[in-house]
Structure 1
Amino acid sequence: MPTGTLHSLLAAFDPDVPLERGSTVPNTWYTSPEVYALERDLVFARAWQMVGLRERVAKPGQFLTADIAGEPVLVVRGEDGVLRAFFNVCRHRAARLCTDECGTVTKLRCHYHGWTYDLSGNLRGVPEFDGVQNFRREDNGLPPIAVEEWGAFVWVHLTEPREPLTEFLGPLTAWAESQQVFSGLKWYARKSYDLACNWKVYADNYLDGGYHVNTVHPALAGSLDYTKYRTTCDGNAVLQSAPTKPADGDAGRTRTGDAAYWWLYPNFMLNSYEGVLDTNLVLPLSVDRCRVIFDFYFAESLPDDFKRQSIEVAEQVQIEDIGVCEEVQRNLHSRSYTSGRFSVKRENGAHHFHTKLGRVLQQHSSPPV
């Protein structure tokens, strides 16, 4: 696509229009490979990204791997106790260094030609490289990536961070401390789902202020006081909250206390109830495919049958969301649809997301030449 055409496509959305008069980003932003490619660089490479569980890299030699919009990442705890992150790419022929999701190592050895790096990223072993001129091992170490820890998670930033992680997280940190969210919780399980939709379709669904809860999630709706559902936008974060109410079934049993649903730009969600926490990480796979990774945490005092029932409730909600998200993605290609309006009462969170995304893409994209 010519640069001018992409510029015109991006210019079709005005992020300065207020909620009352605003429309969503156009359908082409969900279907254009050019917009998707731009997002990989301007959205996912320029924001802090949650890449894994802190407990998986707690000890020297422990590592975890992740993929951020097509970019392979490796996080490892050094023998000196320092947490480091690198691109999971060998400097020789671009094969991966660590192929497992997590584990423990004493060195980083490429499975292709055996180049070996220490846990600080320095190149140590170069088999059969005698006679190669103008080559220095010290110039061929692994390029570092910014990495920080917060909560139960590890975060990386693929480019030079413009702000430290705690500043990026904004109000999420103060809320987590005041609620002691991570106190007494232990990771229990992980589940992954592949969806035939653009990553933004899933984010839109999450951020609609409960607008779809009564129609798409009947069991969950029975346990939430929808009349008190509120959405608050602040910087990179959106908080949707509501008190729960007594209800029958597994949803009623496992969804108690105050419900808090946090979204962090661009693709991380944290869902909290009394004694229950789960996170959603939305990873773009292509312009019309994404993967959602769920991690489930519970108070250690809760019995296993409660934990299993809670996960079953979450899975049912996910199944319901998958159906509607994939339907939306198919219909975004319809000649009858370009964009939609926002519910002022419910969709201020989605509007906040769209305006933020619009500004990021428009400010950093090149105008036509």
Structure 2
Amino acid sequence: MDLNLPNHDPDADWGLPGWLYANERFFREEQDRVLRPSWQIVCHLNDIPKAGDFHTFDFLGESTVVVRGKDGGARAFANVCRHRAARLLDGPSGQCGKGGGRIVCPYHAWTYGLDGRLIGVPHAETYPALEMDKQGLASVQVEVYRGFVFVRLEGDGPSVAEMMAPYDHELAPYRFEEMVPFGRVTLRPRDVNWKNISDNYSDGLHIPIAHPGLTRLFGRGYGVEAQTWVDKMWGHLVEEPSNNPSERMYQAVLPDAPHLPPERKRLWTYFKLWPNQAFDIYPDQVDFMQFIPVSPTRTMIREIAYALPDDRREMKAARYLNWRINRQVNAEDTGLVARVQQGMASRSFTAGPLAETEVSLRSFGRKLRALIPQARLPRPPEGW
């Protein structure tokens, strides 16, 4: 990803114009310049623990599959047969056919090894142009960062490790590599633009106003900062008991996390990774969220929680209460982003001014304007 950020952004004090949140042409530009060249999380290595285990990921019309190899490594391929383009593996996860040792196309039984090599073609002698060593599965860039498996459809640019480097030392105590899935992947459709959701989850100013539960739990003083590729928000769990039963119980039962340093035992931290995914980190678990664009005005929120194995009753209760509290927060956010999406459609709205403290929104806008200069315009260009 070629992203040369200018030293001075003339629009730094302004948010993005409303037309970017519904325009079909701009959405196509985003796919090519922002989203396809970006890293996207697929799963954790502990989602695919055995050779032949797989996880699929659908993004921008492409189906990608991550497969655990016989050597223990994770590889990513286009989930497309090289013969007639049939989808190879179905469902969000599972194990490859033939005892997990190979991938067999359900259309004509072309067969691939877990390393993507084409190893079997029925009636191979009848294909004049067949070259077995050249028609293996199309590979997709893959990177494993602290146990999480990321893919990138195309392009280049910094690795996930390089993007996360400013905060890697903060993640180390949580032992991401040892975490296992807690629940299952859920998909929540929303009739809003993906940037609207991304903006909302990078906005600290609305929390004391629109999320009374979070304010009771973490107070009104959220920390917010932005590095080149990652935004961070954080807050400390307050000790004064909440008047809400679930929140008060979470405060009371959250057990000690012996692997965490004292300053993190009751700390919430949120890391938003450019452009559309985030880790929501609590002492008891980590929630992963991804804002997958479907159309200019439709987004799929993909999420799953991960946690270290812990059979303590207090930890089980804390994790249940965490889910219950976040369900209310999600409902509040759903209403907020719907309000904004509706307002973005008004011709009266161009772009709103940003506070100096809205560092995450400033950082996002700066990168988007650098990649797509038309994002500086108050109205769509002619023909858009």
Pick the TM interval, shorter chain.
0.7 to 0.9
* Residues in 1 aligned to 2:247 and 2:24: alpha-carbon distance in whole angstroms: 39
* Residues in 1 aligned to 2:284 and 2:315: alpha-carbon distance in whole angstroms: 11
Q: Which amino acid aligns with 1:90?
A: C
* Residues in 2 aligned to 1:60 and 1:186: alpha-carbon distance in whole angstroms: 17
* Residues in 2 aligned to 1:15 and 1:35: alpha-carbon distance in whole angstroms: 24
The alignment-based identity, stated in percent, is: 29
* Residues in 1 aligned to 2:342 and 2:81: alpha-carbon distance in whole angstroms: 38
| Corresponding residue number in structure 2 for 1:328 | 340
Closer, same or farther: CA 112–330 of 1 in aligned 2, 3 Å: farther
1:331-346 to 2 correspondences below 5 Å: 331-345=343-357
1:262 aligns with 2:271: yes
CA RMSD of aligned residues (A): 2.4
* 2:203 match: secondary structure: coil
Question: 1:265: Cα distance to partner?
Answer: 0.3
| Corresponding residue number in structure 2 for 1:145 | 140
Question: 1:94: Cα distance to partner?
Answer: 2.0
Q: Which amino acid aligns with 1:192?
A: L
Question: 1:170: Cα distance to partner?
Answer: 2.5
1:212 aligns with 2:194: no
1:43-62 to 2 correspondences below 5 Å: 43-62=34-53
* Residues in 2 aligned to 1:127 and 1:361: alpha-carbon distance in whole angstroms: 48
* Residues in 1 aligned to 2:8 and 2:122: alpha-carbon distance in whole angstroms: 54
Contiguous gaps of at least 5 residues in structure 1: 1-13
| Corresponding residue number in structure 2 for 1:66 | 57
* Residues in 2 aligned to 1:352 and 1:254: alpha-carbon distance in whole angstroms: 34
**Alignment: residue pair count:** 346
Q: Which among 17, 22, 33 is matched to residue 31 of structure 1?
A: 22
1:187 aligns with 2:181: yes
| Corresponding residue number in structure 2 for 1:353 | 364
1:224 aligns with 2:224: no
The answer to whether the 8 A contact 2:124-2:130 is kept is no
The answer to whether the 8 A contact 2:47-2:181 is kept is no
The answer to whether the 8 A contact 1:147-1:156 is kept is yes
* Residues in 2 aligned to 1:94 and 1:147: alpha-carbon distance in whole angstroms: 22
Q: Which among 52, 63, 75 is matched to residue 66 of structure 2?
A: 75
1:50-199 to 2 correspondences below 5 Å: 50-105=41-96, 106-128=101-123, 130-177=125-172, 179-182=173-176, 185-190=179-184, 191-199=186-194
| Corresponding residue number in structure 2 for 1:290 | 299
* 2:362 match: secondary structure: helix
Question: 1:290: Cα distance to partner?
Answer: 0.9
* Residues in 2 aligned to 1:15 and 1:280: alpha-carbon distance in whole angstroms: 31
1:250 aligns with 2:261: no
Closer, same or farther: CA 306–180 of 1 in aligned 2, 3 Å: closer
* Residues in 2 aligned to 1:212 and 1:38: alpha-carbon distance in whole angstroms: 29
The answer to whether the 8 A contact 1:15-1:358 is kept is no
Closer, same or farther: CA 224–51 of 1 in aligned 2, 3 Å: same
1:305 aligns with 2:317: yes
* 1:304 match: secondary structure: helix
* 2:372 match: secondary structure: helix
Contiguous gaps of at least 5 residues in structure 2: 1-6, 255-265, 375-380
Q: Which amino acid aligns with 1:174?
A: H
Question: 1:339: Cα distance to partner?
Answer: 1.4
* Residues in 1 aligned to 2:109 and 2:8: alpha-carbon distance in whole angstroms: 50
- Show CA shifts across 1:229-286 (max 9, x none): 1211111001111222133232344367122111000111111222232111111111
* Residues in 1 aligned to 2:305 and 2:160: alpha-carbon distance in whole angstroms: 23
* Residues in 1 aligned to 2:175 and 2:231: alpha-carbon distance in whole angstroms: 17
Question: 1:130: Cα distance to partner?
Answer: 4.6
* 1:223 match: secondary structure: helix
Question: 1:163: Cα distance to partner?
Answer: 2.8
Question: 1:168: Cα distance to partner?
Answer: 2.2
The answer to whether the 8 A contact 1:285-1:291 is kept is yes
Instruction: Give TM-score, length-normalised by structure 2.
Output: 0.83
| Corresponding residue number in structure 1 for 2:4 | none
Q: Which amino acid aligns with 1:351?
A: R
* Residues in 1 aligned to 2:51 and 2:328: alpha-carbon distance in whole angstroms: 38
The answer to whether the 8 A contact 1:74-1:85 is kept is yes
* Residues in 1 aligned to 2:8 and 2:121: alpha-carbon distance in whole angstroms: 51
Q: Which among 230, 234, 239 is matched to residue 241 of structure 1?
A: 234
Q: Which amino acid aligns with 1:354?
A: G
Greater CA drift, 245-254 or 77-86: 245-254
| Corresponding residue number in structure 2 for 1:9 | none
The answer to whether the 8 A contact 1:298-1:307 is kept is no
Question: 1:153: Cα distance to partner?
Answer: 1.3
The answer to whether the 8 A contact 2:284-2:315 is kept is no
* Residues in 1 aligned to 2:307 and 2:301: alpha-carbon distance in whole angstroms: 20
